[in-house]
Amino acid sequence: MPNPNEMKTLTAAAGTPRLNLLNRDVSILAFNERVLDLATQTQTPLLERLRFLCIVSSNLDEFFEVRAEPHLSALRLQGTNSSEAQDAYAALSEAAHTIVEKQYRLYNDVLLPEFARQGIHLLSHGERNAAQKRWVKAYFLREVRPLLIPVGLDPSHPFPMVANKSLNFIVRLGGKDAFGRENEIAIVKVPRVLPRIMQIPDSSGKGQLHFVALTSVIRSHLADLFPGRDVQQFSQFRVTRHSDLAVDEEDVLNLRTALRAGLEQRNYGQALRLEVSAGCSEHLSQFLLEQFDLPPEALYRVPGPVNLVRLTQLVDLVNDPALLFPPYQSSYPQQLKQGESIFQKLKEGDVCIHQPFESFDGVLAFLREAVNDPQVLAIKQTIYRTGSDSELMVLLREAVRRGKEVTVVVELKARFDEEANINWAEMLESIGAQVVYGIVGLKTHAKMLLVTRREGKLLKRYGHLSTGNYNPKTARLYTDVSYLTANPLLTLDMENVFFHLASQSRLPKLRQLVLAPFQLHAKMLQMIEALSAAAARGEDARLVAKMNALTDEGLILALVNAGQKGVKIDLIVRGACMLPAQVPGVTDNIRVRSIIGRFLEHSRVFYFRSGNTETLYLSSADWMNRNMFGRIELAWPVTDPVLRQRIIDECLVAYMHDTSNAWDLQADGTYQRVQPPAHGRKEGAQAALMARYGTQAAGSVSKTGKSGSKPRKPAQNNALSKNRKSKAN
């Protein structure tokens, strides 16, 4: 079995040094280091700093749930005699431990004292006064104690099944139980229905806010759970388990039924990480490691709550605007006007919506118009992530009620959204919608919505394509590009893709859409190699690509070779990137940067230029092997020169000028924060776009009746053509 941590080597052009690719999992952890840095920044509002701290914990949970199992399995398979497997696992554990240590140091030494200065106190038992202790005891007896069932371990009470990421206490007891036995270990499972943070009423009149954590409430009253016994040692603990559902689609009759059954077992997969209190005794921690069959490196001692994710409740409880980001109200898409027909607008040309700077309401308005229009005969849509409470799904249900033909391609295997998607699929199917689940063995990750409308004697198609999901909540938090079109070639391609997904028949030749797993990888290689050939001829060649991750080795090798031929390459990669930039003699012409800001960067934009010819694609796909060969993905060209220039300016140029939230990848694989010029000011792409599109910046809209500034006409030489030295240095 290959070592999952092995450093892979690529050979680039003849005569050039071999290139060691960066480790993907280490790169994922490095991304979380950059997110954690936002929590350290004093210019980040205090509650937002806590929120970023919690986001890192949530990301680490997912990392262990999805990425850690192969590493631990390799260690076990190769045995303790394999120094290679041991070193690889230890290196990954060390990187994760380092992040966790930074988190709790920040939480205890910086954030808690700063909260106290703001009159916000998360009180431990020793910090509570007599009145507060009485309130906590009453709360424990009323709300908590009735839900707790301590389990004393003995041959008839074995170690209980502990669910993934659940809160538990382990207790070591002295004395004898009611039957005269000396069973010393007990487990207390904490129900998930209990809130993790509670506010204590303040009677001082000083305007202070006092809170208590559930762990502190239980810890203070553990003795009440074991009358007649002596609580000698105790610790909270939490185990993280492998949670990536694996279903052999070739071997099941009903994927939906198989996945629902798998969901029932997800919480009890292989244990991968154990978190305990920092003061947990060696006796108890070793006992837990043995129960979960984990090596010592999997133990994380934390000086605070074992689940920082749940501290987001404190953000909601405090909810002080002065300690949050200034509220941002995205503008209605500036190419659209509320109350006017989007179908009519699309007859004039394509529409681009840059989310979240412009509102997702434009997409909902498009679907709402289709649902309410009696001339609309059919609606087809892919669903990857839409959430459990979605207006979009309500609209699709209404479309079925109105007698329209509704076809929905639901991706049941969207990680951690499986249950919501199964529920939506069952609901739509029960009322008469046609629900299909795509192609066996391939996730349907493409985002598209197609409306067929009768216009006179003709049927006309209107489409929506997106780099992001049909989720109104994340559309306020993720940067994505939505694209509305009535382009007959593009919408015919969409129709053919829907037909292909439902019928599994041979895919007709596509005119504008590029589809994975059939053409996308080859198309991207073709575009890169064309730039290489142009550069070899002495032409000016330029490539700029924005994505979430870059891990596909074929595309990486093509980029390296293109850079060595003279193509100037800028890559804006938010998360994992295995291509080391600026390696002397190998990747001198390639720069990689990551933007980490208030919004999660999610759009995929690919720009290619040789001489005066430029091409731009938007896509649902990252440059990862799974996206190129294991998913149904789409990319489409932006042919309108005005819209193309707008996307270049807003999604690429602005981010290459960013000196506020940007990190540049160094030759050794580390990231360095980009500093503003010595006599300049920080420039943030997200802040600039918020200022451009936010409703507070569009005060003239109501006076003029127009939707803000018009898209800029394409320049003869856009900023991507200029000398790159002026951009980020």
332 DSSP 8-state letter: P
pLDDT digits (tens, 9 = 90+) for 660-719: 999 999 999 999 999 888 777 788 999 999 999 987 444 333 333 333 333 333 333 344
Q: How far is CA 293 from CA 274, 332, 586, in A?
A: 10, 54, 44
609 pLDDT exceeds 90?
Answer: yes
| Over residues 550-557, mean pLDDT | 97
Higher pLDDT, 451 or 263: 451
Residue-level pLDDT at 706: 35
413 — pLDDT class (breaks 50, 70, 90):
low
Q: Which amino acid is at 684?
A: G
- 610: which 2 tokens? 């040789």
Say whether both 543 and 457 belong to one domain: no
pLDDT digits (tens, 9 = 90+) for 481-505: 999 999 999 999 999 999 998 888 8
Say whether both 189 and 155 belong to one domain: yes
pLDDT digits (tens, 9 = 90+) for 52-74: 999 999 999 999 998 888 888 88
The dihedrals phi and psi of 591, each to the nearest 5 degrees, come to -120, 140
304 pLDDT exceeds 60?
Answer: yes
| Over residues 362-391, mean pLDDT | 89
Say whether both 303 and 355 belong to one domain: no
| Over residues 112-126, mean pLDDT | 95
Residue-level pLDDT at 715: 38
Say whether both 239 and 278 belong to one domain: yes
Q: How far is CA 332 from the centre of its chain?
A: 25
Residue-level pLDDT at 2: 36
583 pLDDT exceeds 90?
Answer: yes
In a domain, 14, yes or no: no
**DSSP string across 57-93:** HHHHHHHHHHHSHHHHHHHHHH-TT-HHHHHHHHHHH
Last residue of a domain, one of 323, 351, 375: 323
- 58: which 2 tokens? 């949530």
Q: How far is CA 252 from CA 21, 89, 412, 425, 502, in A?
A: 38, 34, 14, 18, 18
Residue-level pLDDT at 79: 62
21 pLDDT exceeds 80?
Answer: yes
Residue-level pLDDT at 701: 34
Say whether both 492 and 547 belong to one domain: no
Residue-level pLDDT at 9: 63
Say whether both 285 and 370 belong to one domain: no
319 — pLDDT class (breaks 50, 70, 90):
confident
The CATH number for 255's domain is 3.30.1840.10
Say whether both 669 and 579 belong to one domain: yes
392 pLDDT exceeds 70?
Answer: yes
Higher pLDDT, 10 or 49: 49
pTM: 0.89
Beta bridge partners of 610: 541, 613
Confirm if 488 and 461 have CB atoms less than 8 A apart: yes
| Over residues 69-90, mean pLDDT | 76
In a domain, 607, yes or no: yes
Provide, for the chain, the percentages of residues in helix, strand and coil under a 3-state DSSP scheme, each rounded to the nearest 5: 40, 20, 40
Residue-level pLDDT at 434: 84
* Number of domains comprising the chain: 3
Q: How far is CA 122 from the centre of its chain?
A: 29
In a domain, 600, yes or no: yes
31 — pLDDT class (breaks 50, 70, 90):
very high
State what percent of residues in the chain have pLDDT above 90.
69
Residue-level pLDDT at 415: 58
402 pLDDT exceeds 90?
Answer: yes
Residue-level pLDDT at 727: 34
Write down the mean pLDDT value for the chain. 87
In a domain, 351, yes or no: yes
Find the catalytic residue in 221, 445, 464, 657: 445
In a domain, 21, yes or no: no
Query: Would strands 671-673 and 458-466 be described as parallel, antiparallel, or unpaired?
Result: unpaired
Say whether both 84 and 193 belong to one domain: yes
Say whether both 476 and 585 belong to one domain: no
Which domain does 221 fall in, by range?
A: 41-323
16 pLDDT exceeds 70?
Answer: no
Confirm if 616 and 649 have CB atoms less than 8 A apart: no
Last residue of a domain, one of 294, 323, 352: 323
| Over residues 609-638, mean pLDDT | 95
State what percent of residues in the chain have pLDDT above 70.
87
Say whether both 371 and 396 belong to one domain: yes
Confirm if 57 and 101 have CB atoms less than 8 A apart: no
Say whether both 234 and 176 belong to one domain: yes
556 pLDDT exceeds 70?
Answer: yes
Residue-level pLDDT at 711: 36
In a domain, 545, yes or no: yes
Range of lowest pLDDT (3-7, 97-101, 176-180): 3-7
246 — pLDDT class (breaks 50, 70, 90):
low
8 — pLDDT class (breaks 50, 70, 90):
low
| Over residues 339-362, mean pLDDT | 96
Say whether both 545 and 465 belong to one domain: no
619 pLDDT exceeds 60?
Answer: yes
Task: Print the SS3 string covering 126-166.
Answer: HHCCHHHHHHHHHHHHHHHHHHCCCEECECCECCCCCCCCC
Higher pLDDT, 389 or 661: 661
Confirm if 630 and 478 have CB atoms less than 8 A apart: no
In a domain, 18, yes or no: no
The reply to whether 657 belongs to the active site is no
The CATH number for 549's domain is 3.30.870.10
Last residue of a domain, one of 512, 527, 562: 512
In a domain, 392, yes or no: yes
Residue-level pLDDT at 6: 43
